[in-house]
Structure 1
């Protein structure tokens, strides 16, 4: 079996409600969804899934984050609607959907914590998804710590999804990011920044049981790990800082606490880099389905092929494809 732990969906009722809530400018910022029927049309989705042997999806709500487009009260309502509908899908199609991941209204932390409880206890969700940055704030902000404590208590993971709008320009004087660089490179950068902040702020030291799944194979960290830790070491000495000195363990140990998916769209060397850094135990099959020009088929096929081409044992490939998901999410399938 292959359990894809990072697939996206826009449930139909939620999608209809969302479209009524979006302003004209918000609709223009999220136009891509309308060209991806796999997000909301289950027939499309199932036809693609049927191209692969024994494939199951874990559902995460597609962008936009509810806190980006709604008031604190309305965001809470949208999150409940999305979660209820995803729960219905998992219940109705147990042979298709292994689990769902909760959407949280992160501009309303009381409601977010309550919704995490409801989703996990009542709807049997297997974790929560948050975005980075959240409300233009870093993930090490004190207001988010209660969520981390709660997820440690549940012993379930947090999915981190990066975001950066196309209005975020690379150079002054331009009106928008060119060539979709904001997502292509900006999103992995945002994930990497979040990981660095969570490590050096002491969040992972304070919550050693916290389990975080990073998108896009751990982003820049596996490749740049020595640069990150060497940079911190050098600046601690040269500038008298204590960024690493505040940590009880070697810096790299904290980065290896993260989990990573395989959503780099079919790059075996890149996955091998992530494997070398995180180890097979912290690498999980995830495709970013359906965000490709074949409505999810391309990235699913290329990701499976790239894992199968890795120079690792059959047992380790099985860990990546299914065993790690079963263990981390405590799945019954």
Structure 2
């Protein structure tokens, strides 16, 4: 093991979550007591979180609402708007009460375009959000879908930082009905896809966020919005492993998309990658074939990752980091890169 004193190294946590009191109530009221197959909704208080931060030398935590997000009842835009605004205010108040410890990513009432555009300005100008946490899909509408273009144009205008977070795969389809040509738009239904019947976080999250980021790249959203920055979670999920396949196949068989060189350039210049989860011993090496350590950020995934596991993962990260980087590089990955990105 290296002689680096890891206990003295500062960490800034860009991937961590709060369960605010009202958000907990919304989860229970809408039947999400076991979100995405998790055994329960974890306990969370600012005091518990700060205690963990002190034990692990995390100086700043950027709070966000994790999956299943704020669109807890499909096709209920008014409830989504209410939940989003309420929880954004809660996060803002927590940060105001603990300004030396917390910042926050606001949620958006996706996929509603007018409500999301309004929330972007409100979260920045009134609540003081540092950016936005967007899930890989919003009730089956994936990031990069043309329907969301006005939202991403607004985010680009505001030079927003978006933290991408996975959720369960969802598919939209037309409900079977006996509507006639004179009837209104056919009713939609949403199906949650989880073929193995195990908690989505074990596998499906990795695939779903990869779907979203590939869609953002191939749709031209990333190219069209040069002022927005993106953080992909969990060391890039499975994107590093399939990037070349996607790029080459799109060019060869369909004559479009983004070629391999351009896709890599966009990832190196427009994306950061948090190290929440288990990037060591394997995932980190695939990611580093695409981007350098200057695009990496620390993430704990607390409170959905319990305290004991957060500490164990820090030990794994420290051991793995010491094998490939010097102390100055590790300091940048753990805190310096985030300070530059967010102006902390």
Name the one with the larger strand percent: 2
Q: Aligned partners of 1:123 and 1:140: how far apart in 2? A: 26
Question: TM-score, with normalisation over the residues of structure 2?
Answer: 0.81
Deviations 1:145-179 (A, max 9, x none): 22222222222211111111695232xxxxxx334
| Correspondence for 1:83 | 88
Q: CA deviation at 1:205?
A: 1.9
Q: Aligned partners of 1:306 and 1:223: how far apart in 2? A: 24
- Residues 1-333 of structure 1: matches in 2 within 5 Å? 1-19=10-28, 21-23=29-31, 26-29=32-35, 32=38, 34=40, 36-37=42-43, 40-69=44-73, 71-97=76-102, 99-164=103-168, 168-170=193-195, 177-180=196-199, 182-233=200-251, 236=252, 239=253, 241-244=254-257, 250-256=262-268, 257-265=270-278, 267-294=280-307, 297-298=310-311, 301-302=314-315, 304-306=317-319, 308-331=321-344
User: 1:266/1:305 Cα in 2 relative to 1: closer, same or farther (>3 Å)?
Assistant: farther
CA contact (8 A) 1:281 1:320 kept: yes
Q: CA deviation at 1:314?
A: 2.4
Q: Aligned partners of 1:85 and 1:75: how far apart in 2? A: 15
SS at match of 1:5: strand
Q: CA deviation at 1:137?
A: 1.8
Flag structure 2 segments of 5+ consecutive residues without an equivalent.
1-9, 171-191
| Correspondence for 2:6 | none
Q: Aligned partners of 2:297 and 2:278: how far apart in 1? A: 14
SS at match of 1:15: helix
In the alignment of these two chains, the number of paired residues is: 312
| Correspondence for 2:184 | none
Q: CA deviation at 1:31?
A: 7.0
Aligned-residue Cα RMSD (Å) equals: 2.6
Q: Aligned partners of 1:169 and 1:82: how far apart in 2? A: 28
User: 1:310/1:86 Cα in 2 relative to 1: closer, same or farther (>3 Å)?
Assistant: farther
SS at match of 2:235: coil
Q: Aligned partners of 1:310 and 1:269: how far apart in 2? A: 13
